Chains A and B, each alone.
Chain A
């Protein structure tokens, strides 16, 4: 009979006591495993997201950490918004031209002017055909404005990519307590932004497609299309073709309400293991058209007002008036605009020798039947900026945050006299990597050490329970040991049996604790995912760490090939438990070693 069987029989014989000891050990190990793996996976996920597809976040002035948490992790209370024009400061000439043509200023010109006097060079937007009948004064102002429009954005030379995002809405899964953040953005979020700058990993679609910038294919759907992350699809039961109704504001607050505008799911993203998985991405154009997302504006024009003012000057905009008052063109306007647009497109196509111009122009014209929200009425929560990849411009781009933090962006609002009434114009730029690193060094890492210290203490208490368990049974054990000694067992043999028993108890407790710890991970997975956006399952182990981090200065004495290895801290539990078991087994083993056979044997 092996000493393992003898030890196991001893454990079995003390069933309840052994069970309590094992449970105690298991609880300790469960805590360690849960803390290690949950913290490890969450940390790893946060750190993975530390390599974003952008390196500057521009948002409203306030807490840099809050802006980062909102933008990177879609966590924390929503921050204030900034004018849409701030996004345009990072755009190229073509984009600005297209975007700024959908402005109140442009519409105001359309309303004011009857004929085109001198179309400014390069201004080919929808407002171009209405530039007739300008007064000399207005014409000059318009030309200046237009020239401003035609320039690249203030920060364009330092910008590689800029993507605006809008937060503040949620998607409540019908019939459940689940809710996911909605993010209004542009299709470039998926097509141009990489998930990780180092790996150049991009978004991919499990099903469907991305929504369009401005739907050119199906005017019936228009801009009300959305793409959902993998978790939203899986946990929210969202499928391609479903419609979702975003909720305005946090569903937990009393003043939230569900928008009446449905968004059609046109794409489901592949899982990325990032917070993006639990987001409903709305087409920003549709997002802007929902109620509560429209800013009332007023005219701050310096043009003469009063009795001597030209009657064509745009009046102050009533914040309560429907936006259609100014933005909905008349049928004649649309017809005229379409004619001009068709002519322009045909001219462009003819110049570039392209064929099938008629087909494209029809698509473009279909899109023109719907109106974008004027850009003065728009706000975004943040602009994600990847600074220029060009070496020289990239270096200059490093100073982008400081320039923005000086307030330079506010100068980009001067082009239009129509401003939102309650506009938040103070902006800030933050470096997300720096903020996340700060978050870790200030909060997460210390918390990790505190948690680990607590769980190690729990383990020590659990280990002591093994000692207490064995100690309490020592009187009975002394007799058994004496019997075994009388049968010929040596002192070292009975000592070994006691050690094996301790190790078995520790390993059993450890194994059950390990299972329970991962079970806890799986059980808490949905909660963790809800709170942090990081998915957790039973099989998520604490991420491997380079051996050098464990060894510290001892690394000098270890071969490089071994140092290159990465080991999950969970694997260290195995030798750790063995050592713990041996330590706690010392007393009973030594006690067994010292047992006086003649005295303990009795008759």
Chain B
């Protein structure tokens, strides 16, 4: 829905499939609906028609509350702006990712993840006291906290300097590979996309002819 109340179509994806443990880069120009697609896949936004199935569970069948729980259990999310909560330390931000899941992971798991992303020495630091690269690594650790089946990364390197970009992408890819997590990374950077075996263009899988600025 646009601000003037008019309904417009943003996505019309006949089929989009991601196998377990597979890593896919999704590219497209700004405003073509990449973020919206991630919201639909994660259950934040319900599609007007069609379905989303994750790990054999048809997400779109369920109420919002159930979708929230499934998202907590099966989906990890890495944002472009990290979206760490400033009131919490690095460790607590990772734990926050576990808070809403059915099988809450342990403190040990949170620490292990922070060690894994190279922040074992920064666990008690709050986001404001960390570099952008460190913040994004915390965000990656948080997304992995519940051992999700799918990790959605929405342009995770857009705000990171070039040196850190490669490290972040590498970290995400390796982590997903280690834990057999399917990875869908949205990016508009071909440099990043080139690191993936499979690269999908949204304008090719989306039947709606998108105009720039129509959606997020």
Interface positions of A (Cβ within 8 A of B): 1-2, 6, 9-10, 12-13, 479-480, 483-493, 597-598, 601-603
Check if B79 sits within 8 Å of A488, measured CB to CB.
no
Answer yes or no: B85 CB below 8 A from chain A CBs: yes
Question: Digit string of B110-135 for contact with A (CB within 8 Å is 1, else 0)?
Answer: 00000000000000000000000000
Q: Please indicate the chain A residues that have their CB under 8 angstroms from the CB of B154 in the complex.
A: 603
Check if A484 sits within 8 Å of B77, measured CB to CB.
no
Q: How large is the interface on B (under 10, 10 to 19, 20 to 34, 35 or more residues)?
A: 35 or more
Check if B97 sits within 8 Å of A487, measured CB to CB.
yes
Q: Please indicate the chain B residues that have their CB under 8 angstroms from the CB of A597 in the complex.
A: 39, 44
Answer yes or no: B68 CB below 8 A from chain A CBs: yes
Q: Please indicate the chain A residues that have their CB under 8 angstroms from the CB of B99 in the complex.
A: 1-2, 6, 487, 489
Check if B44 sits within 8 Å of A12, measured CB to CB.
no
Answer yes or no: B81 CB below 8 A from chain A CBs: yes
Q: Please indicate the chain B residues that have their CB under 8 angstroms from the CB of A480 in the complex.
A: 85, 87
Q: Please indicate the chain B residues that have their CB under 8 angstroms from the CB of A483 in the complex.
A: 79, 83, 85
Which single residue of chain B is at the shortest CB-CB distance from A10? B87
- Supposing A488-B73, A603-B35 touch, asked if A1 and B42 sit within 8 A by C-beta, the answer is no
Min CB gap A589→B, angstroms: 16
Kindly identify, within residues 183 to 204 of chain B, every residue whose CB is under 8 Å from any CB belonging to chain A. Answer: none
Check if B100 sits within 8 Å of A493, measured CB to CB.
yes
In-complex Cβ contact of A485 among B68, B73, B98, B155 (8 A): B68
User: How many inter-chain residue pairs (CB < 8 Å) link A and B?
Assistant: 86
Q: Please indicate the chain B residues that have their CB under 8 angstroms from the CB of A13 in the complex.
A: 86-87
Q: Please indicate the chain B residues that have their CB under 8 angstroms from the CB of A9 in the complex.
A: 85, 87-88, 92
Q: 8 other contacts beyond A486-B42, A493-B100, A602-B81, with CB at 8 A cut-off?
A: A1-B99, A479-B83, A485-B44, A487-B77, A488-B69, A488-B72, A598-B45, A602-B83
Q: Please indicate the chain A residues that have their CB under 8 angstroms from the CB of B98 in the complex.
A: 1
Interface positions of B (Cβ within 8 A of A): 35-36, 39, 42, 44-45, 64-65, 68-69, 71-73, 75, 77, 79-81, 83, 85-88, 92, 95-101, 142, 146, 154-155, 158, 216
Which single residue of chain B is at the shortest CB-CB distance from A8? B87
A488-B69 Cα distance, complex, nearest whole Å:
6
Check if A487 sits within 8 Å of B100, measured CB to CB.
yes
Check if A491 sits within 8 Å of B79, measured CB to CB.
no
Check if A601 sits within 8 Å of B83, measured CB to CB.
yes
Which single residue of chain B is at the shortest CB-CB distance from A11? B87
Q: Please indicate the chain B residues that have their CB under 8 angstroms from the CB of A12 in the complex.
A: 87
In-complex Cβ contact of A489 among B36, B68, B75, B83 (8 A): B68
Q: Please indicate the chain A residues that have their CB under 8 angstroms from the CB of B75 in the complex.
A: 488
Q: Please indicate the chain A residues that have their CB under 8 angstroms from the CB of B71 in the complex.
A: 486-488
Min CB gap B37→A, angstroms: 12
Q: Please indicate the chain B residues that have their CB under 8 angstroms from the CB of A602 in the complex.
A: 79-81, 83
Which single residue of chain A is at the shortest CB-CB distance from B36? A598
Min CB gap A594→B, angstroms: 12
Min CB gap A126→B, angstroms: 92
A13-B98 Cα distance, complex, nearest whole Å:
21
Q: What are 13 of the A-B contact pairs (CB < 8 Å)? A: A1-B99, A12-B87, A483-B85, A486-B44, A487-B72, A487-B97, A487-B142, A490-B64, A490-B65, A598-B36, A601-B83, A602-B80, A603-B154
